[in-house]
Amino acid sequence: MYLMNRDGFSLLVMGFTGAKALEWKLKFLEAFNAMEKAIKTPQITPNPHYRTRMIKTAVKDAADTAAMIADTFGVKKPMAMTAAMQMVGKAYGVDMTPLKQFIPAEDSPSTLTPTKIAAELGILNSKGNPSPQKVNAMLKDKGLQEKVGPDWAPTEAGKAYCERIPYTHGNGHSGYQLLWGHHILELLKDGDQEAGH
């Protein structure tokens, strides 16, 4: 077997002459062009049984990965599932976008920072601005959060009211921020009145 590219073939057949040579050149060119087209056409029809098994495995791995993310990082299942689907889909080469519609919406998404809580409850500092420091102290006094190094972390009781969300500042500093659900407002409002804030 000899391998020859288009340039090599062109050089070879230039020396052929006569009527039969022309007929042979045309047939060979036709065959060469057909072969070149077949080589360049991507083969995108894998075994459907293999592809189905791969999708099933990707979905199972996404569920397992989401559970691990939720347990390890203390985030809610929908957020963990979204991250897991992106990672597993990329790893398997499977588009998991159609499955995102099945991720349940959170019943009470956590969106409140201590500053927003202070603004909602009218907890102000001496300058009249919302005081996240006072809110953090109240959350600590209620046994809902504690200091771990420079950051706040939820206690076991606090995990029911908040979630830890990763962040990265422009300066490269990263960590976790606690975002609280709206149901924390009633709990702190009662405590705020008791404490006379």
- Collapsing DSSP states into helix, strand and coil, what is residue 153? strand
**What's the number of CA atoms in the CB half-sphere (13 Å) around residue 71?**
6
Range list of β-strands (E), 22-156: 145-148, 151-154
Residue with tokens 């057909």: 34
pTM of the model: 0.49
**In this predicted structure, what is the pLDDT of residue 196?**
42
Q: Mean pLDDT, 10 residues at a time, over the chain (197 residues)? A: 73 74 79 83 68 87 92 81 90 88 73 93 95 96 93 91 80 84 88 48
pLDDT of residue 193: 46
